[in-house]
Each structure stands twice: as structure tokens, then as C-alpha cells.
Amino acid sequence: MSTSDIHTPVLLERCIELLAPALAHPGAVVVDATEGMGGHSEALLERFDGVRLIGLDRDTDALRLAGERLARFGDRVTLVHTVYDGIAEAVAGAGAPQVDGILFDLGVSSLQLDEADRGFAYSQDAPLDMRMDQTQGITAAEVVATYGEGDLRRIFERYGEEKLAGRYARAILAARAFAPIERSGQLVDVLVAATPVAVQREGRGHPAKRVFQALRIEVNAELAVLERALPAAMGLLRLGGRIAVMSYQSLEDRLVKREFAAAAASTAPAGLPVELPEHTPRFRLLTKGAELASEAERARNPRATPVRLRAAERIAEAV
């Protein structure tokens, strides 16, 4: 089975439309900061004959599959094993001082969700790993085994926006006192048992959904990485360059919204009669708020349901 059979890129046509004006000239460079299985990259390389692509991913399995998918494009493609907050170093290492387009498709990938042994999905029993880069870092099982009640509650509240964070943290500590929680199925059982029947009847989703999201974000330091990656990426764009970011949960989207809004705002003090060059906005927003997938796309590809897309264009050089 090919990667195109198991991976449907989200908002593909809209992303291409937003990036197209920056990629129309020969020699344009585009960065896919979250390469995944290469669906967006493949489309960009097909649509723009003169484009060179630099693809980044922390997941070695994803890079291998993307490399197979994009092999026909030869030296137009450079793939780099790195977390996307290493974008500046990766681009410099690929010999591109500036770039014309950047795409982020955040969150967990189709590959990571569909491979049961990665432990990302609460619907499949597997070792509690959740590392996007399985060559390094702490696993979700280690977080569950070693974090105290306060730290577990903190990450469930902050990264999962879970109302029962304290209750779930206490339940985990009680359960692990009897036996290690090493598999996703074990953790799901603990969470379900700790959830009041009335809450389960409310229809707020599976009891494990928010806890699993919180653990994944903690294990992969996703918000901290994104907070570093966005300004680094925007600083790489040449005049007229464009960036598009797809987020799948509110915490990511708030970070993107904040970074884009700051870059698109004048920094001139109130009452200044003339806006000096150093106060001019560096970017303009290309989307009105966050764009959503159409009903047709959500029906065709359920993973597009939570997506929020924002894009911006560099309109001034940094002073």
C-alpha cells in the first residue's frame, strides 16, 4: 500500500492557494516543517516545477516514507531529521539563506495514529510511548510512572483542558501503587473507572481523550517547540514570502494567532504623527481569523474536523 492510499492531506488545495503567489518564480524554496508522509510536499512539487523543498520531521519512520514518496523529484528535495524549532539550522544547512514559503501541519500525524504500537490512540491497546521521535526522550509511560499528583494535574489541566484533572491524577497514583501502567489500555481503564457515570452520560467525549492529548504534548514538548519555531520560521521568510499553519487544538491555535497578530501590528506609540519604518507591521494576515475545513472535506476526511488554518505574508523587512 502506498502512502497516498493511507494519508489524505488536510486542506491541501487551500494551502497551495495561500502559498502559490510566493512560489511562482523559478528557484523558490518552500519548507514543509512537518513533513509527515509527504502529501503536502508532493503536491507542492508537482504544482510548481521550479520549487525546491526542504522537509523537516522528528519522526524517522515518517521521513523514510516521505523519502520514498518524493524520490522521483530528485535533488529538488532535501529531508532533515529535526524538530521544527530547528528550522533555521536546517534551512541554513540546506544552503538556503531565506525561503519563500513555509507550511506547518501540527499535531499527531496519520502515521503515528494508525501505527498501534506508538501508543498515541486511546482506542488501541499499545505500549504507552507517544514519542514522535522514538530515538530519544521520555515516554508517556515514564510520565505516568514518575510524575507526582501535582504535575499530572498541571499537565492535564494545561495541555488537555481537562476539568477532572485532579481526579484523574489521583486515580493514576492509586493505580500505579498496585501495578505499573505501561500500556494505553491500562491507562484508559483507570480513567474510565475514575469518571463519574453522570459525566460519561454528558457526551463530552471519551474520558481518555484529553488526558492522552496532554500526555502527548508533554512528552513531545509541543507547545514549547511551537513557541520557538514560529518566530524562527517567520524570520526566514523573504519579502513576499508566505507562511501557513494548520492547528488541531485550541492551545496551538492561540499561539499561532498571537504570533501572527503581533507580527501584523504596528509597534508605533499611540499618538505618534508619523509611523517610522521600525514600527511598520512586518506581516499581513491572509486569512480572516482561522479557516475551517468544509463540510465536504470533513465528511471525506474526518481528521480535518478540528483543523484551524491561519496564514500570513511578509510585507516588510525587519529593521
pLDDT of 275 reads: 60
Query: Is 235 labeled as ligand-binding?
Result: no
Our measurement of the distance from residue 297's CA atom to the centroid of its chain's CA atoms, rounded to an integer in Å, reads 19
Question: Residue 69 — pLDDT band, cuts 50, 70, 90?
Answer: very high
Which residue has cell 498501534?
116
Q: Would you state the pLDDT for residue 89?
A: 97
Which pLDDT score is estimated for 2? 47
Q: Is 7 annotated as a binding residue?
A: no
Check residue 1 and give its pLDDT. 39
Could you give the angle at which helices 184-194 and 165-176 cross, rounded to 10 degrees? 120
Q: How far apart are CA 149 and CA 245, in angstroms?
A: 34
Kindly state the helix (H) or strand (E) to which residue 254 belongs, with its residue range: helix 250-263
Rounded to 10°, the helix 149-160/209-220 angle is 100
pLDDT at 139 over 80: yes
Give the domain 115-220 fold: DNA polymerase; domain 1 (1.10.150)
Name the least confident of 22-31, 67-76, 115-124, 271-280: 271-280
Question: Does 40 appear as a known binding residue?
Answer: yes
Compute the average pLDDT of residues 253-265: 96
Q: Model confidence at 277, in pLDDT bands (50, 70, 90)? A: low
What is the average per-residue pLDDT within 194-217? 87
Q: Which of 14-18, 54-58, 107-111, 150-154 has the lowest mean pLDDT?
A: 107-111
Please provide the average confidence, as pLDDT, over all residues in the chain: 90
Domain boundaries, the chain: 3-105+222-314, 115-220
- Superfamily of domain covering 3-105+222-314: Vaccinia Virus protein VP39 (3.40.50.150)
Whole-angstrom distance, CA of residue 308 vs CA of residue 290: 5
Is there a contact between 238 and 97 (Cβ–Cβ < 8 Å)? no
Residue 313 and residue 100: Cα distance in Å, rounded? Answer: 10
Cell readout for 237 is 521568510
Mean pLDDT of 142-163: 96
Calculate what percentage of the chain has a pLDDT beyond 90: 76
pLDDT at 66: 95
| Residue 271 clears pLDDT 70, i.e. is over it | no
Annotated ligand binding at 39? The verdict is yes
Tell me how far apart the terminal alpha carbons of the chain are, to the nearest angstrom: 50
Between residues 111 and 172, the one the model is more confident about: 172
Has 84 been labeled as part of a binding site? Answer: yes
- Single-letter residue type at 137: G
**CA distances for 168 relative to 76, 188, 235, 251, angstroms:** 49, 11, 41, 21
pLDDT at 261 over 50: yes
Residue 119 has pLDDT above 80, yes or no: no
Read off the pLDDT band of 204 (50, 70, 90). Answer: confident
81 is in an annotated binding site: no
Higher pLDDT: 248 or 198? It is: 248
**Residue 125 is labelled as binding a ligand:** no
| Domain 115-220 in the same topology as domain 3-105+222-314 | no
Q: What is the pLDDT of residue 270?
A: 62
Nearest CA among 231, 255, 4 for reference residue 107: 255
Among 1-10, 204-213, 216-225, 264-273, the range scoring the smallest mean pLDDT is 1-10
Give the mean pLDDT of 264-293.
79
Higher pLDDT, 8 or 29: 29
pLDDT top residue among 275 and 210: 210
Over range 166-172, report the average pLDDT.
97
